[in-house]
Structure 1
């Protein structure tokens, strides 16, 4: 039910569905809180990136790498998975590892709570039929809503993580993912490993690989594919909602019987 005592412009500013800016198209939509919780557990900060809370996401993604590398947590995981439990105990730095625990718990708790709250605001925005401007132009960029292909977002993310988000104009997520993937791939010697593996030199690939950095990559890769796909679907849905609202407001007869 809309808040009829308030002017329409105030209602639209109070609970907007989304916003189109030259730097990004940011919006809210219904999510499964447990999926967001999983991304918090998988990689600190990715839950916030998915929800459009970029500042928190950037800070926590940096902290994830900073604390993990100093604690040598990925090395401990690597040695544990390969059955070298004593080496895992020796390599992990407890002083740094204990910094990780409270931040990890906070991200899981807060990511779940934020997803629940944003779901409520998304429902309210739909009920209030909040409008948005679907086109924004500036001296630096042109941003607008239109239909995109979800399979293309997947293909671009498979090609290079971050390109799928760039496809739907999520520039902060795209830029950070592109830079982060490139940095970690370089530090982990990913491309020399790929080259040596393609040449059949598996022993050489094993030698040059740095598991301390390479174990970051699976989470980044899967997140980039998943989030770009979901974002594209919801992006298309937002476009349809905005177009529907515009057509009803400007072209549909007031006497048209709306089906219940």
Structure 2
């Protein structure tokens, strides 16, 4: 009995808690690596490696702010190479590249390893608990709509994650959203743009903080959509296994039909 239980724990690929549903599923290593290229830490967050992912995201913000890398990129895009050289802080510049490359390599390597673990343990999905009841929170495994998650994520980052009941991810995402919006003056610039005052809109924006927003915004949309799809697959697999174990006779076999010409 003990060896049976330890074997199930060894092959477990999904866990539901009050903070969300964590699971291992097949992923494309190149897609995960590309999200790490867009922003170190994003690839690890897609893998549910939260501590490593959050650490890399915070490191990227810190080192980027210290080197003024985003501002230098803006000057480079506009052809002002001399200004790009002036704003770069060389004291921190060489700290940026090793961690950036590590985030890409580690997210790719981890994806390959987790894919192997999934293939070994996919038959143990039915061993997970379906409903979690706690005094301050309830979580349960059910089907949700990927389109709804996408639309909510498009309104403001973190809402799509709340729809999927990913509490830690939603809190972290919302906090980062407030920081980016505050320091980039994005909403203020957007307000002036709606009024037709393009010059004022451009003046209030802070390029160093503004460049974080595109990758961050689209990542939260992709993350919400992808997790909804995979949670739905987990729900279907669990239901299929439950019905098979509880209602299908032990000796049941699917017989091949006779082909009629």
**TM-score band, normalised by the shorter chain?**
over 0.9
C-alpha separation in 2, matches of 1:45 and 1:113: 14
C-alpha separation in 1, matches of 2:3 and 2:125: 13
* Residue in structure 2 matching 1:234, options 214, 230, 241: 230
Deviation by residue 1:160-201 (Cα, 9 ceiling, x = unmatched): 111111111111111111110111111100110010000111
Give yes or no for the alignment of 1:142 onto 2:138. Answer: yes
* Residue in structure 2 matching 1:205, options 201, 208, 230: 201
- Give matches, 1:33-182, under 5 Å: 33-128=29-124, 131-182=127-178
**What are the ranges of 5 or more consecutive residues in structure 1 without an aligned counterpart?**
none
**What are the ranges of 5 or more consecutive residues in structure 2 without an aligned counterpart?**
257-261
C-alpha separation in 2, matches of 1:169 and 1:7: 33
C-alpha separation in 1, matches of 2:46 and 2:220: 10
Post-superposition offset of 1:132 = 0.8
Task: State the superposition RMSD in angstroms.
Answer: 1.5
Equivalent residues of 1:12, 1:130 under 8 A apart:
no
Equivalent residues of 1:23, 1:171 under 8 A apart:
yes
**Count of residues in correspondence between the two structures:** 256
C-alpha separation in 2, matches of 1:259 and 1:180: 56
Post-superposition offset of 1:125 = 1.2
Post-superposition offset of 1:8 = 3.3
Structure 1 residues 7 and 251, CA gap change in structure 2 (3 angstroms): farther
C-alpha separation in 1, matches of 2:28 and 2:59: 25
